[in-house]
Amino acid sequence: MATQEERKRATRRKIMDAAGDLFAHRGIEATTTEALLSAAGVSRGAMYHHFDSREDLVAAVYEEEAAAAIARAAAREPGGLSARERLLAGCLAWLDEVSRPGVARILIEDGPAALGWRRCRRIEEQYSLGRLTAALRWAVDTGEIRVASVELTARLMNAVLAEAALIVIAVNDQAEVRADVEATLRALLSGLASPSKT
């Protein structure tokens, strides 16, 4: 047979994959461990050997999804813009990634409900919120925008993007809303512009 390391990774992967799939399609809350175990083809004992609790498994899936989304968004960001344009582009790229129903369900709808917003934020800090904070700080450092607090502004913008994603996925004509969101984000951001450099 395989080494312990390989067995471990394979089993963990089976659990995470089945969980990611069920969470995205049926919702996190609605997915019982029982359903998950039979979907993954894994025993209850195996699951609790890999994860201390159901919540820890949810957190692991959440984190993986967050990392994947930010990676995809980062891969499409254009270069050679002003810091402010880059900030906006980054926000929109993330919004588009997270506007897919399965992703939104895990990262925005069910995730925070299942894990609590504190735990989600701790995870997000390393991903979307972290990138957003960095982009914002960069724009502040170049003098293009001025804010009372970078951390505060980043969290407020993050909240806006999450809400925007919920709106986009809930609506029929996504393109129209998407355009309105972009216009609104642009307007709001213009309010942060430094007086000298509008």
Partner DNA sequence: CGGTATTACCGACAAGCAGTCTGTAAAGTG
Partner DNA sequence: CACTTTACAGACTGCTTGTCGGTAATACCG
Q: Does 184 bind DNA (CB under 7 A)?
A: no
* CA nearest neighbour of 19 among 50, 2, 98, 6: 50
Question: Is-contact 114 132, C-beta < 8 A?
Answer: no
Can you read off the two tokens belonging to residue 119? 């735990």
Residue closer to a copy of itself by CB (options 4, 149) is 149
Q: Match 């894994």 to its residue by tokens.
A: 42
Please identify, among the stretches 53-61, 83-91, 128-136, 162-170, the one whose residues bind a copy of itself according to the rule CB under 8 A: 162-170
| Residue 76 binding: pick among DNA, a copy of itself, none (C-beta 5-8 Å cut-off by kind) | none
Please identify, among the stretches 29-37, 74-82, 102-110, 128-136, the one whose residues bind DNA according to the rule CB under 7 A: 29-37
Q: Does 166 bind a copy of itself (CB under 8 A)?
A: yes
Distance CA 156, CA 7 (A): 43
> Rounded to 5 degrees, what are φ and ψ at 55?
-60, -40
Q: Does 179 bind a copy of itself (CB under 8 A)?
A: yes
Binding residues for a copy of itself, total number by CB under 8 A:
37
Residue closer to DNA by CB (options 53, 184) is 53
Name which of residues 52 to 91 contact DNA (CB under 7 A): 52-55
Distance CA 102, CA 104 (A): 6
Question: Is-contact 35 22, C-beta < 8 A?
Answer: yes
To DNA, the closest distance from the beta carbon of 125 in angstroms equals: 24
> Rounded to 5 degrees, what are φ and ψ at 59?
-60, -40
| Residue 25 binding: pick among DNA, a copy of itself, none (C-beta 5-8 Å cut-off by kind) | none
Distance CA 1, CA 139 (A): 54
| Residue 173 binding: pick among a copy of itself, DNA, none (C-beta 5-8 Å cut-off by kind) | none
To a copy of itself, the closest distance from the beta carbon of 133 in angstroms equals: 14
Q: Does 7 bind DNA (CB under 7 A)?
A: yes
Q: What's at 87, amino acid-wise?
A: L
Q: Does 38 bind DNA (CB under 7 A)?
A: no
